[in-house]
Structure 1
């Protein structure tokens, strides 16, 4: 990877944003042969949040030569338990999903985001076709033939396509005049990591409470990451507790299945919402990651969808350039929008309905939820279909990235 210090530069694609989705997108584009600029600050990942990477995401990271750099810092997810902890009169039975039932050693791996970002940064540093600007985008101006970009440090560059990986408050999305559809949820997610005295045995357990799910996801050793969704007022109260009281609250919520729990330093609180743009690409700008979709932390879909964004834009750009087409043309962007629309819409619908059915006090809806989970748990073909569709849409082909001769570190 080259550090770009001179201006102006002209690129096939510029990626703005250096989170996991942005880094993966830049690597995939450069590896596919596009002359790529990455505009993102170099900084260690700022907190201890984790991601459950599903098998499709791991396959993609292997294609990018990233996974081998962080695999030892991840924990396998072999079994997933859903436990109805609502205390309601009508409750769903416990449902267990085993990866071996669909011929997999694991559904995926859970990894701390800072370890994943470090591996992505290491891979990006070895790509000759990727230029890094240790900077932030300040202005993005789409034109007829290219997009003009100005950074905070006053650098200027041009790209035929800009990929916006710049998060929820996306400068790129605004520059492309893409409307955002947002719905606030009366929920907040509290995230933290814990140690425990009993082994997790690579089992992820999700407790369904009247306020939302609370999931304990394995980390290496006798550790787990926790995402606890609840009413905002309760989350604000819990986050202020001392370590002892907070650990006791987490242990009670886990029903002591992991033994004595001790909370690790670092707690984070996030208000929840559902966000989706009216289009995923427009005016020479394509959106990936949280610039393109924000969902509640249910079903491990957030970053996994972001990595599918990265795979799709890289594949579409590679195909366009191999045919001599402009990678930022309306026709190419229409292909990306079509590729992402069904995936994001279907995941958003399922997660939204699952969340609504859990929160609802409407008795017929509770009965339908309980019956549905009972059917999934009892009928093997439906359970296996649910597992496969939860990992990735069955109708979506696996990405095939063409690797160019690049340095491997």
Structure 2
């Protein structure tokens, strides 16, 4: 790993943020041949948090040489089971979708968040073309002729472009004065790792309750726990507070009851996590000499495993836009930033709105909404071509790219 010694180093690209999105962006951008500085501190542990990566994301990671090390710390997901547990009058029967319906061995992989960050950090540390700086950028000066990033360790970094994966409170986004829209939900998510008696059969099970999803996702087996799943349980904040105060055995009993004993006896492994449900999107995903990736430009609830999958597509499109660009040419940089904005806008908008609508339909105890949701799931289950089209779109999205290509001003 290279370490920057000068107080005024210069790079082609500065990547801000050392979480999963920032690390993937740095690796992808370094593959384009540009000099890259990765500035950020490794995030603290996130108990019980995992990320499910779909096949489309895994193909991007495979191009970066990351799929093989990722598989070693992940569990495969071959099926998705959806159970309407809202007690609605229009409740559809349980639906099971399997990867072989669309010719795949698996929909994707599920991996602990802390493990994927550690794996990506190890890869970055072994790359000679990424200079890693364990510090935070406190201030930016975006100018027509370049960018200066003022780092809290005293360094002033000069670069041509900033790619910011520095989270929902992104200093780079704020420095560029990019506006955001924020909203919240009356929900808190409890996350954790569970051991259970019955097998998960490589299937994610998502119970749709009146308070939001209650989801089990397969986890890798260990020598002393052959059957494990990650839990994401959305509920009212008061209920989350009550449950987090319970003895682990009593909470495990409530999880067994909520899951209708589908997984048999349950034991909680390690610490639980909890976080309030909120959403955010930016009105733009770029500014002069700036591209936003990951939660710097979109945040939404953990439905449909969209978060990091969307962030990986951000990083892939940022690298594609900057590949082969002369970063000493201001007009070339402006064109690359414009191309990135066009390529990401529809994808982010579709995913953000879709997750928001799904979550709100679960929370709405309103018969017409229940009817439409029930009919929609029943139609997807029963109509083969529609079912397969939606599965393919979920695994490797193409709708946003199609809309972008047909948008006014798009390249032919």
TM-score range (shorter-chain normalised) is: over 0.9
Aligned-partner Cα distance in 2 for 1:326–1:83: 53
Gaps of 5+ in 1: 399-409
2:257 equivalent in structure 1 = 252
2:406 equivalent in structure 1 = none
Asked if 1:391 is matched to 2:395, the reply is yes
Give a deviation string over 1:207-261, Cα, whole Å, max 9, x none.
0000100110000121000111111111121111110111111111111111110
1:36 equivalent in structure 2 = 36
Structure 1 position 314, deviation (Å): 0.8
Aligned-partner Cα distance in 1 for 2:217–2:63: 25
2:333 equivalent in structure 1 = 329
Asked if 1:289 is matched to 2:297, the reply is no
Aligned-partner Cα distance in 1 for 2:67–2:118: 11
| Matched ranges for 1:157-168 at <5 A | 157-168=157-168
Structure 1 position 326, deviation (Å): 4.4
1:366 equivalent in structure 2 = 370
User: Does the Cα contact within 8 Å between 2:18 and 2:43 map onto a contact in 1?
Assistant: no
Gaps of 5+ in 2: 222-226, 403-412
2:268 equivalent in structure 1 = 263
Structure 1 position 40, deviation (Å): 1.5
Structure 1 residue matching 2:68: 3-state secondary structure? helix
Structure 1 position 43, deviation (Å): 6.1
User: Does the Cα contact within 8 Å between 1:48 and 1:112 map onto a contact in 2?
Assistant: yes
User: Does the Cα contact within 8 Å between 2:326 and 2:333 map onto a contact in 1?
Assistant: no
User: Does the Cα contact within 8 Å between 2:32 and 2:324 map onto a contact in 1?
Assistant: no
Aligned-partner Cα distance in 1 for 2:244–2:322: 44
- Over 2 Å off, 4+ runs: 42-48, 319-322, 324-331, 395-398
TM-score, normalised by the number of residues in structure 1:
0.93
Give a deviation string over 1:55-113, Cα, whole Å, max 9, x none.
11111221212222231221110010000111122212211111000000000010111
Asked if 1:278 is matched to 2:293, the reply is no
Structure 2 residue matching 1:57: 3-state secondary structure? helix
Structure 1 position 375, deviation (Å): 0.7
TM-score, normalised by the number of residues in structure 2:
0.93
1:178 equivalent in structure 2 = 178
Asked if 1:199 is matched to 2:203, the reply is no
Structure 1 position 42, deviation (Å): 4.3
User: Does the Cα contact within 8 Å between 2:178 and 2:282 map onto a contact in 1?
Assistant: yes
Structure 2 residue matching 1:265: 3-state secondary structure? strand
2:136 equivalent in structure 1 = 136
Structure 1 position 325, deviation (Å): 4.6
1:406 equivalent in structure 2 = none
User: Does the Cα contact within 8 Å between 1:305 and 1:344 map onto a contact in 2?
Assistant: yes
User: Does the Cα contact within 8 Å between 1:161 and 1:328 map onto a contact in 2?
Assistant: no
Asked if 1:300 is matched to 2:336, the reply is no
Q: Name the stretch that deviates more: 387-396 or 228-237.
A: 387-396
Structure 1 position 334, deviation (Å): 1.4
Q: Name the stretch that deviates more: 301-310 or 283-292.
A: 283-292
User: Does the Cα contact within 8 Å between 1:284 and 1:328 map onto a contact in 2?
Assistant: no
Structure 1 residue matching 2:270: 3-state secondary structure? coil
Aligned-partner Cα distance in 2 for 1:34–1:227: 39
User: Does the Cα contact within 8 Å between 1:176 and 1:284 map onto a contact in 2?
Assistant: no
Structure 1 residue matching 2:261: 3-state secondary structure? coil
- Alignment size in residue pairs: 397
| Matched ranges for 1:45-124 at <5 A | 45-124=45-124
Structure 1 position 48, deviation (Å): 3.6
